Amino acid sequence: MLNLRDAVGVPLIVVSRLDDNLAAINTILREAGHAVHCTRVDEPAALEEAMAEHPPDLVLIFADEPDLDLTGLSGTIFRRNPPIPVLLVRQQVSELDQLLGVAVTPVRVMLESDNLTDVTVFKVGRLGVFSSRTLELRPGAYTAVGSRPGYRDVRRNFRVSPGNDAAVVVRCEERI
């Protein structure tokens, strides 16, 4: 299976009558570090020809557009062997762009320790010993690990959510 991160110029077909939708998808994926080659198809009848000229790894269909024959489009796509993955977009791209902006906006996370525990946060790095430290992390799941000679290591799994500051305590307190 092709991973967008591993490819150069991943071919996509965007079914939409609006150039803004194509431009937004292109921009969002490129800014997220994914090289793509988007082909816009504005009429369902042109989809077969576009798939023959530029075989896509993914087809994005803007399903909210009026007079769009989703049954005909899906038949054209799924007749191919193997069928091509399809993503139906049901929101305006501006809303999608806003959601993506929220998803990549760093959130303040307060880490507390005891100046004795060596702290590492996976996907961030080794932070060392401290009593209090503030990080700016993107939303997602993280794991903090604390270690201290003569004490049991601790592991704290935490989730960073958009708009919610978090506090995580990492202290090795149980003697071995």
Better pLDDT: 50 or 110: 110
Better pLDDT: 32 or 2: 32
Q: What is the pLDDT, as a whole number, of residue 104?
A: 67
User: Distance between CA atoms of 127 and 118, rounded to whole angstroms?
Assistant: 7
Q: What is the pLDDT, as a whole number, of residue 134?
A: 96
If you write DSSP's letter for every residue of the chain in order, what string do you get?
Answer: ---TTT-SSEEEEEE-S-HHHHHHHHHHHHHTT--EEEEEE-SGGGHHHHHHHS--SEEEEETTSTT--HHHHHHHHHTSSSPPPEEEE-S-HHHHHHHHHHHHS-EEEEEE--SSSEEEETTTEEEES-SEEEEEE-SEEEEEEEE-TTB--EEEEEEEBTTB-EEEE-----B-
User: Distance between CA atoms of 41 and 62, rounded to whole angstroms?
Assistant: 11
- Confidence band for 106, pLDDT divided at 50, 70 and 90: confident
Better pLDDT: 47 or 129: 129
Q: What is the pLDDT, as a whole number, of residue 125?
A: 95
- Confidence band for 119, pLDDT divided at 50, 70 and 90: very high
| CA 57 to mean position of chain CA atoms | 18
**Which CATH number applies to 10-102: 1.10.3080.10, 3.40.50.1370, 3.30.70.3040, 3.40.50.2300?**
3.40.50.2300
Share of the chain above pLDDT 90, in %: 31
> Exposed, middle or buried: residue 112 (CB in 10 Å: 0-12, 13-18, 19+)?
middle
The pLDDT of 37-64, averaged and rounded, is 83
The pLDDT of 88-116, averaged and rounded, is 76
Better pLDDT: 132 or 99: 132
pLDDT exceeds cutoff 60 at 3: no
The pLDDT of 3-7, averaged and rounded, is 42
pLDDT exceeds cutoff 90 at 109: yes
Q: What is the pLDDT, as a whole number, of residue 41?
A: 87
Summary mean pLDDT of the chain? 82
Q: What is the pLDDT, as a whole number, of residue 7?
A: 44
C-alpha angle 171-122-170 in degrees, rounded to nearest 5 = 10
What does the domain layout of the chain look like in residue ranges? 10-102, 106-169
Q: How far separated are the first and last CA of the chain, in Å rounded?
A: 46
Select from 77, 29, 87 the least CA-distant residue to 55.
77
**Which CATH number applies to 106-169: 2.60.40.1120, 3.40.50.300, 3.40.50.880, 2.30.30.100?**
2.60.40.1120
This prediction has a pTM of 0.48
